Structure 1
Amino acid sequence: MSNPFFDHPILNSPYERPSRHWELDDSGQPTQKILESRRRAEFITPIPKPKKQKRAAGHQQEMHYEDDSGISTAQQQYDPTSIINEVRGHVDTWRQLPHPGQWQVTPETARLLQHWRHHPFNGIRPFFCQVEAAETAIWLTEVAPHTKPGKRIIEHLSLANRDANPELMRLALKLATGAGKTTVMAMLIAWQTINAVRRPGSKNFTRGFLICAPGLTIKDRLRVLQPNDPDSYYRERELVPGDMLEEMGRAKIVITNYHAFKLRERLELSRGGRQLLQGRTGDKPSTLETEGQMLQRVMPDLMGIKNILVINDEAHHCYRAKPQDSDDEALKGDDRKEAEKNNEA
């Protein structure tokens, strides 16, 4: 029996904006019907709480509405309509503007966008999803602050960050497995570096980058983000125009693993030596490095740079505590050492 979905699952070119998708029913199964539109992003996300304001006496309590899924509470509201769709719409409209002068970006950014979209690459050209990810970061940074809808989205993201991780502004770019996240990181680093070098007074750009990887193997793969690497993506994959490659040499990029941030012992002491130093007072000797010393050890090349862009690669693999996996017991040699270090991180 013919099954159109499994016979022809791919409907779109990887180099063009998706324009068709297979319809799925409520259980996620294909209905065998093709819809002539891009599939909407569907996530249930927490609604950021508004900024606290002083309430006057007799102030009416805010009304909370139940969502269709029934998971919202008075303490936390959830929105089944993802803000991603709204951002996509704004980026789509912005992308279609015909003249670079209408893009509201720097000339350097406009040059990179034209290069990524239209350059006749000798090898594999960037996929649409890769360019769109870079475009989204660019739109949020250079364009959104100057538009009313953009300001509202930035405010939403700011409040969401305040609820999730106060004093740390983070954005997530989610791409499918195999989409090429390393290429996206290279595009973002190029965009930031070239603008920072040519516009040293701008607060929007930096040439300092801290790349955090979850494992030793991934860290080694990310060396292609270094401009001086023999297989550097900026040159080998033609992600940067030839006349802009010199600026990439000004980038300061530190690639490390999460476990490197664990405070280390500055002084190795035996149990007896530690007890001796503890003495009569009972105060334990402070032998751990400080956070400042840890930063100096992990990222010395970035210490003199005011603004740093931190990129968490494979961030969905990072947890506060990783439970012991039974498979780790079977590992040997270097594989076991890597697993133990990842567990410790």
Structure 2
Amino acid sequence: MDLALLDDTLAAAGEPAFRARQVWRWAANGAAGYDAMTDVPAGLRDRLRSEVPFSTLELVREAHASDGTVKALFHTHDGRAVEAVLMRYRDGRRSICVSSQSGCPLTCTFCATGTMKFGRNLTAAEILDQVLHFRRIEPVDHLVFMGMGEPMMNFGNVIAAARRLPDVGITHRRTGISTVGWVPGIRRLTETDLPIRLALSLHAPEDTLRSQIMPVNERYPLAEVLAACEAHYERRRRQVFIEYVMLAGVNDGYAQAVQLAQLLDPRIYKVNLIPYNPTDSVYDGSSRNAIDAFKAALEEHGLRATVRLTRGRDIDAACGQLAAKTAAA
């Protein structure tokens, strides 16, 4: 829902200011459309239906995984493809992974989104409408900006959407932004008033290998990225999560684990090892034994690590797999 358009339409209709809050409250609580808003006058509902689309996105299709994960493919008003994912966990958590761009201008070599043609930044309304789509299915309580695109390159719209999330049921402390290391965005997040979690996609313990995997490293090398993350920690006093995708024979050796542990201050960082999810890249995923050995090596050297639970792999909804394959060319 385009909330600026909603405000303008209500103002033009001479409606009191509380009407916008009333409509937004219904939407944030999962209303299926204007017809559900029973305390909004019927004539006004008709006007809103004709002048303010209930969503800025058109749902093209949904895919449902065997583990309960749901992936939604949307089109924007100008035909841009966007994917978002709802992940259901046994402990009751309902987490959403949302996109901040259609496609991605950065070309991380393991990520399917990087193979798409970059479209554009999404508006705050288009980001929020991904969330509202899933909220209409069931209550949600966690969110990460980790879908298509680099959220720090669309910082203003990402933060504008994030400010609305508590109304939907997702607190700022249960919201995370994942970045490849876009330093200006990390610095801007540090200066905001929102206690949003920061996650850094690292994937290598030294610059040469990281530049091969993630060309953005040539623009913002490790020392600069980690300095920005450490400044964030100094101000926020919240640990930074390190995402490290496990690539067989590339970044999963014992020596690399030791190098990573020596690079990262355990007071500041916690590592999340990510099993590689198949895309059309040149990589193979590390074996479970290799992942376990890498984790053990990190912990031997004092660095906490977890292994991410993969969700939605069978519908190409897992980490690194979003590529809008069903979108029109």
Common fold, TM-score beyond 0.5?
no
Larger radius of gyration: 1
Q: TM-score, normalised by structure 1?
A: 0.27
Could you say which structure has the higher strand fraction? 2
Q: Which structure exhibits the higher relative contact order, with contacts defined as CA atoms closer than 8 Å and separated by 6 or more residues?
A: 2
